[in-house]
Amino acid sequence: MDAHLLEAFVTIIDQESFSEAAERLHLTQPAISKRLSALESLAGNRLIDRSNRQIQLTDAGARLLPHARRIIDEVHNAKLALSDKRDTVAGRLSVIASHHIGLHHLPAWLRRLNREFPDVSLELKFMDSESALDQMEKRTAELAFVTLSESMSHSFEVQVRWEDTMAFVVSPEHPLANLEQPTLTDLARYDALLPEAGTATYRTVSRLFLDQGLTLKLQMPTNYMETIKVMAGVGLGWSVLPVNMMDSTLVRLPMEPRVSRLLGGIGLVGRTLSPQARALLKIASELR
């Protein structure tokens, strides 16, 4: 099967729109529709249900999709292997980073990358880790720097990882700040400021409370650690934040157990990384 036809099919599914897929591939909408029709003729089956406004896979399309992704990845790998510039650190590099990593780790990495490899053209997006994983599945970026989770798909390959030590925190004026040895039972009496359910940080904290039969009093969940820090700093509740975010607006509670999470850089299994991606990973590994 023609890789261009498969690429059109996969992009329509990922973008959930013919027009947006056409824009991404720098084609007209009639051209991308023609490519899909040609692929369906070769497959002998309809691949996308066009009976309503939403893009939906048919049974045949769902069976083809994982094979189409692997073929596209192999074409990508072949191009890298045959490139005369395969050892040259230059060209476009698309990266996704969580907001926390983007604020507290990425600037130092990019400063060094730009200094040592000025011919790398960076395309950078910021989003929460769960959205980043979804975008990586769609091949919209080569690397993502995210919070790692045991529930991550096996289609991801962790290239670099590090532990991010966290702490229970409150504002200096919060009642919990006056306790010599606060416990989870003490915390359960007050509002909690945490990322949304489904995030690695929320699951870690929630599991601690569930193990003791305690209920979290969640207040305004948000995935932006900086927003959580501000809300905790003005006394709206307690939180769990990376220790590198601590400042005079927060007090670290002397508590057990210790809490941490794993951060890391991921690529896709079976998809060869470019020299510029490998260069950024090396820098991240050295500076993390």
The mean per-residue pLDDT over the stretch 206-221 comes to 91
Q: How many domains does the chain have?
A: 2
User: Residue 153: which domain range?
Assistant: 87-288
* Residues 35 and 71 grouped into a single domain: yes
pLDDT of residue 59: 95
- Statement to judge: residues 183 and 62 lie in one domain: no
- Same domain, residue pair 191 and 214: yes
For residue 45, what is the domain's CATH number?
A: 1.10.10.10
Domain termination residue (choose one: 58, 82, 106):
82
Tens of pLDDT along 243-281? 999 999 999 999 988 899 999 999 999 999 999 999 999
Q: Final residue of a domain: which of 34, 64, 82?
A: 82
pTM of the entire predicted model: 0.84
Per-residue confidence (pLDDT) for residue 149, from 0 to 100? 86
Domain of 143: which CATH number? 3.40.190.290
Mean pLDDT (whole number) for 45-60? 88
Residues 210 and 270 in one domain: yes
Residues 230, 129 share a domain: yes
Q: Within 13 Å and on the Cβ side, how many CA atoms surround 146?
A: 29
pLDDT digits (tens, 9 = 90+) for 87-144: 789 999 999 999 999 999 999 999 999 999 999 999 999 998 989 999 999 999 999 9
- Buried residues in 10-37 as b, exposed as e (16+ CB within 10 A): bbbbbbebbebbbebbebeeeebbebbe
* Confidence label for 283 from pLDDT (cuts 50, 70 and 90): very high
Question: What is the rounded distance in angstroms from the CA atom of residue 163 to the CA atom of residue 220?
Answer: 27
Domain end (from 55, 82, 109)? 82
Q: 154 and 267 share a domain? A: yes
Q: Are 130 and 225 in the same domain?
A: yes
Residue 154 scores a pLDDT above 70: yes
In terms of domains, do 93 and 178 share one? yes
Compare 198 and 285 and report the one with higher pLDDT: 285
pLDDT computed for residue 245 by the predictor:
93
pLDDT above 80 for 51 = no
Q: What percent of the chain has pLDDT over 70?
A: 99
Do 42 and 161 lie in a common domain? no
Q: How many whole angstroms separate alpha carbon 19 and alpha carbon 159?
A: 34
Q: What is the pLDDT at residue 86?
A: 67
76 in the same domain as 137? no
Residue 99 shares a structural domain with residue 62: no
Q: What percent of the chain has pLDDT over 90?
A: 80
Are the C-beta atoms of residues 250 and 241 closer than 8 Å to each other?
yes
Are 44 and 145 part of one and the same domain?
no
pLDDT value of position 159: 97
> Quick check: 238 pLDDT over 90?
yes
